[in-house]
Chain A
């Protein structure tokens, strides 16, 4: 079987998850004996692959971003690309067309009509989900064209499937759900490369940068860690009004080369950051619960958490410390960095411990509380 995949990007050119997805998918497909022709817009960087036939189309595109100012330019590039795509692909023979997201749907539908080959449209994201209050009608129209004409639709989650049905009116019978695999190792390698982390150990702070979250204590502890352990980087994921102050603090402490501010991390990206970290620190001054602690533990990352958090009552396989005791905090972080067997032991036990903390159980307990209130 020969599949024509109409894509958008491919390593080394990657702007988001789509490129990673296409790389991993085509690699696995060819390993399983499927012929793949992967088509994408030609850009500045040359794309190469030894396991898949890559076809680059066009003179060298620069799409820019699709905000209002550049909308016309962006639209023009998309149209050009789609036209060239159709022309180029008519030289290829294939059994099925697999179109990755709205940018190529126009060409995909035309190719289907010309060749009579079945079309699969892949929904990675839709405009209504990206900008629910102000979707760009141009994109919505492209999406509708693709999904209405597709013989089969692959949605990357049931949530996506529901959105396709509810927001775009797509026939649910032709949607199948196939989840994306998170290739953690790849993500980690890429992240390390992009941020110049080498083989540094990583200590993570993830949360808003507000006083009650204690990010300043985190930096003070970082300073003490660095004095004993050089090969480490401290990631601060999140934004908040303390950001400028924290940047200044890192400079004043002389550890600005050891601290990286990542900015806001979207919900679905969080697990990746826990997983690449060697230690997760929650230095909160006051934290009613601290769900991030459970998320980190679930990801297998050992945690150093403030005693002033609800989560510290729940997780036993964790280091607990008073938020103001930065010496102790540093000592515990250091221990986890210096003694990997301890980190692994804590990770294993932590995962086991929180298994019982499912939403299902929490609902059951809540129902029990309701019943107690109602029936006494």
Chain B
């Protein structure tokens, strides 16, 4: 039997408004509510509502033979609650069917692991709490932001109580091995679920590419590929926005999805499982990833976020504010700082246009250029730093502490 796991990642960042240097210290809002609402409502209309409807239909139709898994970021939930609360209900309906597994992640879809282990754990706990409240659900599998992974991350996640973790099925650590098996992380007893990037990207990236030799991709052809894939599990992990946003309705993506279960289930050796099912499976081998990997770009490393000098500068500044945030003890400022950690902000500063340009461009349509993204972000950080200092100085001077500068 080969299990097919369809896991969708649901996320929207709190995008920044155009924040000029002249705005620093003027009390201007950081986040662009109007823009965020506009983008969120568009995605809701084009993707979230129709996709949820479709998946619910399929789950009901196949009476438990069709299952999916989701991770949903805290920043997405916040915006849904504010702009389109019905969507929360819609996801709750899906979870109630019992055929949907949920994964935990960092609440802010952040690079918190690179900031500090403490910050990372706090954000994971925030997310856990959120899912408990909204779905009364306790995930067993963890997905770090953009599938960022290493042996150390696996160990930390294991310590938090998770049984499985998601990573990219990338050849640099797989070597000759296939992603279509369950593995174990090196150095900690946690199961590792590797994305089959080829088959995943066939849907999420190539589906509507006219110059692709397999264009157009039909459900029966795709099911045949799955059926012909050796191994015990096929992990199809992708952004949920693939349906209707990245691949427009006009491309036929919804029809593809509607017909996929019947074609897959026509093969006796194929079935759909939720990601939690994989925990029970035996790990065939151990995977050693002593460095950071991710599922982004052609490089599958951190270079989409920390690839250039601007990104490193911005991230280091963000990281350096951690001690200020702790000392300032201001809930609003802490929330702003955490929203700024959302990886998208730093992703917008990426200058690797030449190879991965199209994808970056898609995600940053509202950003004029990586330089604007950087300048905007830095201006906001300057303002935040000023506000934090204003909280710290009066308080700490009472105790005779002098704040050190960054």
Contact = CB atoms under 8 A, between A and B. Distances in A.
Interface of A: 228, 316-317, 319, 327, 331-332, 334-335, 338-339, 341-342, 344-346, 349
Given A316-B353, A345-B308, A349-B351, A327 B375 contact: no
A316 B369 contact: yes
B313 A346 contact: no
**Max chain B C-beta neighbours (<10 A), residue from A342, A344, A349:** A342
Interface residues of B, number: 16
Given A342-B374, A349-B351, A327 B308 contact: no
B375 A345 contact: no
A334 B21 contact: yes
B89 interface: no
Given A319-B371, A341-B309, 10 more contacts: A327-B22, A335-B371, A335-B375, A338-B21, A338-B378, A341-B312, A341-B374, A342-B310, A342-B374, A344-B309
30 contacts: A317-B351, A319-B369, A319-B371, A331-B20, A331-B21, A332-B375, A335-B21, A335-B371, A335-B375, A338-B378, A339-B310, A339-B313, A339-B374, A339-B375, A341-B309, A341-B312, A341-B374, A342-B310, A342-B371, A342-B374, A342-B375, A344-B309, A345-B308, A345-B309, A345-B351, A345-B370, A345-B371, A345-B374, A346-B371, A349-B351
A331 B372 CA distance: 11
A349 B369 CA distance: 13
Contacts of B308: 345
Given A339-B375, A346-B371, A331 B309 contact: no
A341 B308 CA distance: 9
B252 to A, nearest CB: 34
Contacts of B312: 341
Contacts of A338: 21, 378
B28 to A, nearest CB: 13
Interface string B7-46: 0000000000000111000000000000000000000000
A228 B351 contact: no
Interface in B368-406: 369-371, 374-375, 378
Contacts of B21: 228, 331, 334-335, 338
A327 B21 CA distance: 10
Nearest to A337: B21
B22 A228 contact: yes
Nearest to A349: B351
Nearest to B312: A341
Main secondary structure of the interface of A (DSSP, over half): helix
A346 B375 CA distance: 12
B313 A341 contact: yes
Given A316-B353, A319-B371, A335-B375, A341 B22 contact: no
A344 B313 CA distance: 12
Contacts of A345: 308-310, 351, 370-371, 374
A335 B20 CA distance: 9
Nearest to B382: A338
Contacts of A346: 371
Nearest to B314: A341
Interface string B309-325: 11011000000000000
B374 A331 contact: no
A327 B22 CA distance: 9
A8 B369 CA distance: 52
B382 to A, nearest CB: 9
A338 B379 CA distance: 10
A264 B161 CA distance: 72
Contacts of B351: 317, 345, 349
Nearest to B375: A335
A131 to B, nearest CB: 46
A346 B374 CA distance: 11
A99 B374 CA distance: 54
**Max chain A C-beta neighbours (<10 A), residue from B370, B371, B375:** B371
Q: Which 3 pairs show the lowest CB-CB distances between chains A and B?
A: A335-B375, A341-B313, A341-B309
A345 B349 CA distance: 10
**Max chain B C-beta neighbours (<10 A), residue from A331, A345, A349:** A345
Contacts of A341: 309-310, 312-313, 374
Nearest to A227: B22
Contacts of B369: 316, 319
A346 B20 CA distance: 19
A344 B310 CA distance: 9
A203 to B, nearest CB: 15
Nearest to B351: A349
Nearest to B309: A341
B379 to A, nearest CB: 8
Interface in B138-187: none
Contacts of A331: 20-22
**Max chain B C-beta neighbours (<10 A), residue from A317, A327, A335, A349:** A335
B384 to A, nearest CB: 16
Contacts of B310: 339, 341-342, 345
B118 to A, nearest CB: 27
B377 to A, nearest CB: 10
A339 B380 CA distance: 13
A342 B371 CA distance: 7
A281 to B, nearest CB: 15
A335 B22 CA distance: 11
B77 to A, nearest CB: 33
B222 to A, nearest CB: 37
A339 B353 contact: no
A39 B374 CA distance: 55
A349 B371 CA distance: 11
A284 B374 CA distance: 26
A223 to B, nearest CB: 13
